[in-house]
Amino acid sequence: MPGTVLTITSGKGGVGKTTATANIAAALAKLGQKVVCLDADIGLRNLDLVLGLENRIVYDLVDVVEGRCRLRQALIRDKRLPNLFLIPAAQTRDKTAVSPTDMVHLCNELKQEFDWILIDSPAGIERGFRNAIAPADQVVVVTNPEVSAVRDADRIIGLIEAEEKGPARLLLNRLNPQMVRNGDMLDADDVLELLAIDLLGVVPEDEAVVVSTNRGMPVALDEKSRAGQAFRNVARRLLGEDVPFMDWDSESGFLQRLGRLFGRGD
């Protein structure tokens, strides 16, 4: 059976697309899936760095598209997870070096060999986004519980629908449960109600993400990290498993429990 192309996008930059791509990929590979990550952010590549594969790059996406190497030569295998591969973006070119049609052809070839092709989309709604969305079978929109990120996510969801690539699913990243409890951060329910799409996962704010990114080691491989657990849950949901959403209530205080008692619970 041919593989699935999953595009990870957001509209706004800096919400965690690359981190999400690296971690969902690592978690899927850990579950035995054969996965390739494609960095579509030509000119601003980073997926190589987040995955810790930056020293192994010889050829890139543009080399493949322009025929300077064979597809196989541009695939970098992760030594920790032998099922995980990366095709890096070119760093010295721009988004117009690749067309949406190029991306469709490339992904059709990759689908024969891989279970999952994860595309890390650049921020924005221009050519880079169109390249990333063109071959998608499924789309994940990453956002943060914060006004500008939610607004941009809504815009991108509209564009995904217009391209007939929907329905997109939501990954809410960097949720701070303590701030939600204090009424100072939008909760997952609020964001879902505003955006009116299905939820794929909620990733809590977690210092372990910064630490693991520093080391070039996906946090999904850290058994103790809560963010890592959230990404592993996302991977299982992608494989069709019905995984309950993580429960932050274990830390909740007396007032929250009292609130739930009177039916105002979350």
Rounded CA separation 30/247 (Å) = 24
Nearer to other proteins, 145 or 201 (CB): 145
Q: Per CB under 8 A, which region of 120-128, 175-183, 237-245, 247-255 contacts other proteins?
A: 175-183
Contact criterion met (CB below 8 Å) for 102 and 63: no
Residue 198 three-state SS: strand
Rounded CA separation 116/100 (Å) = 19
Long-range contacts of 66-75 (CB under 8 A, 24+ apart): 66/97, 71/106, 71/109, 71/110, 75/36
State the binding string over 36-75 for other proteins (x if CB under 8 A, else -).
----------------------------------------
Between CA 16 and CA 212, with CA 44 as vertex, the angle to 5 degrees is 40
Neighbouring CB atoms inside 10 A of 179's CB total 14
- Give the helix ranges, DSSP H, for 182-246: 188-195, 207-215, 226-238
Among positions 74, 86, 89, 150, the unique one binding other proteins when judged by CB under 8 A: 150
Among positions 158, 163, 192, 237, the unique one binding other proteins when judged by CB under 8 A: 158
Among positions 127, 151, 236, 237, the unique one binding other proteins when judged by CB under 8 A: 151
Q: Per CB under 8 A, which region of 106-114, 115-123, 133-141, 149-157 contacts other proteins?
A: 149-157
Q: Per CB under 8 A, which region of 127-135, 184-192, 209-217, 226-234 contacts other proteins?
A: 184-192
E-assigned strand segments in the chain: 4-9, 35-39, 76-77, 84-87, 116-120, 138-143, 169-175, 198-204
Nearer to other proteins, 95 or 181 (CB): 181
Q: Is 161 in the site for other proteins (CB under 8 A)?
A: yes
Q: Is 263 in the site for other proteins (CB under 8 A)?
A: no
The least distance separating other proteins from the CB of residue 260, rounded to whole angstroms, comes to: 14
Q: Is 163 in the site for other proteins (CB under 8 A)?
A: no
Q: Which residues bind other proteins (CB under 8 A)?
A: 146-147, 150-151, 154-155, 157-158, 161, 180, 182-187, 190, 194, 196-197
